[in-house]
Structure formats: structure tokens, C-alpha cells
Amino acid sequence: MPRRSQAERSAATQAKLLDAALDCLVECGYARTTTTVVARRAGVSRGAQLHHYPTRTALVAAAVEHLFARLTRDYQDGFAALPPQADRLRAGIDLLWSVMSAPHYPAAVELFTAARTDDDLRAHLTPIAARHQANVAHLARAYFPAAARRGARFDAALAMILDAMQGMASARVIARGGPDEAARVATLHDIAAHLIDPAGLTEARA
């Protein structure tokens, strides 16, 4: 690797650090995600780590931003790839759940839990989370225009479905992917149909 530009070098180390931080959050949890461990896992010296992210909070905040950017892309791509068939609503639910089942998602849970009692971290995370939520809501409205016309009711339904998935993700801590997880997703399908599209005339031709 001769003659890498500064920008390339920076980007490479930062990417290594952020991925390592996410891995570490998933594997070890927030408490044991120390700057030392992250640097070692990233194969980067501690000096370099501190150069790019001067504090631990800065590091994990950047990591979650990195993660959410990826999640937003996943949502976007997923929605764009939704089949234009009769069960789009169903497919949309499955998409949401699949993204929230991503391997790195527990890192977000770790950080938001920690943010509850860490003002600094919360200040970093609040705007990131708000932006992400807005993105998802925007995408959902864009891809289900007919249902979105129901306005607040649609928004409430979406919020509820996301809450439920968030709860399911939390529950995984204890019972990882139990057999009844599928049943719960099925219930969500049912609910979505009831709340968003009670008449049964789906968004097939949207």
C-alpha cells in the first residue's frame, strides 16, 4: 500500500475503529467496550484511536452514527426492492423486522440504554435517533402513499409497530429468536392490515 493519501488513511482507520466499536458493543456490551479494547480489535494503536476520537463518547457516538447510516440505507434499498404485488404491506413489515434483526443492531440498544443516564452521550444520540426515525417514517409514507393518506392514524400505526419490534429486539436478550418470534411477527402482519388497511384493498398498485 504505497502512497495512500491522508484522507484515505484517515477513512480507513476510522472505518476500522467504528466497525471494531460496533463489534465490541455487540459482543461485550457497553461497559466492556473500552477504548483500549476497541483499538486493539481494530488493529490500531491507542494513539491513533485517540487522535481520531478524543474521548470514548466521541468514539461510540460516531459508531452509532455509522450504524444508523447503514440501517437507513438498508431501509431505503429494501423499500425500493419491495415487490409491487398484493402483499407489499406484509413485505414492508418483514423488511422492518429484518433490518432490526441486523447483527449490529444490539449495539444501538446498548448505547441508547447507556444514554439514559449519560448526558453527554444522550446529547450526541438524540439528533441521530430523531433523524433516523424521521427517515424511516418518510420512507414508509413514500412507499405506502395510499395508506399514508390516513395521516396521523398511519403514523401512529407505524410508531406502534416499530415499538413492538423494539420490544421484541430487547426480549431477544433472554430468549434469542425463540419459536414464538415468528408468531409475533405474524401478529404484526395482522395488526398492520387492521390499522393501516382495514378494507383489505392493499397498496398493490401504488
Partner DNA sequence: AGAAACAAACAGGTTTGACTGTTTTTTCTA
Partner DNA sequence: TAGAAAAAACAGTCAAACCTGTTTGTTTCT
Site of interaction with DNA (CB under 7 A):
2-7, 9-10, 12-13, 32, 34-37, 44-48, 50-52, 54-57
Work out how close the CB of 62 gets to DNA at its nearest, in angstroms, rounded to a whole number: 13
Amino acid at residue number 3? R
Helix, strand, or coil here: 184?
A: helix
Q: Which stretch binds its own copies (CB under 8 A): 10-18, 57-65, 86-94, 180-188?
A: 180-188
Residue 51: count other Cβ atoms within 10 Å of its Cβ.
12
Q: Among its own copies, DNA, none, what binds residue 30 when CB lies within 5 to 8 Å by partner kind?
A: its own copies
- Contact (Cβ atoms closer than 8 angstroms) between residue 116 and residue 158: no
Q: Does residue number 167 form part of the binding site for its own copies (CB under 8 A)?
A: yes
Q: By CB under 8 A, what part of segment 19-48 binds its own copies?
A: 27-32
For 21, residues 6+ apart whose C-beta sits below 8 A from its C-beta are: 33, 38, 42, 59, 60, 62, 63, 107
State how far the Cα of 125 lies from the Cα of 114, in Å rounded to an integer.
10
Q: Which of 15, 183, 201, 204 binds its own copies (CB under 8 A)?
A: 183
Q: Which of 48, 64, 109, 147 binds its own copies (CB under 8 A)?
A: 109
Q: Output 43 or 178, the one with its CB closest to DNA.
A: 43
Q: Among its own copies, DNA, none, what binds residue 166 when CB lies within 5 to 8 Å by partner kind?
A: its own copies
Listing DSSP states for 50-85 in one string gives HHH-SSHHHHHHHHHHHHHHHHHHHHHHHHHT--SS
φ, ψ for residue 113, nearest 5 deg: -65, -45
Work out how close the CB of 135 gets to its own copies at its nearest, in angstroms, rounded to a whole number: 15
φ, ψ for residue 143, nearest 5 deg: -95, -10
| List of residues contacting its own copies (CB under 8 A) | 27-32, 106, 109-110, 112-118, 122, 125-126, 129-130, 152, 156-157, 159-160, 162-168, 170-171, 173-174, 180, 183-184, 186-188, 190-191, 194-195
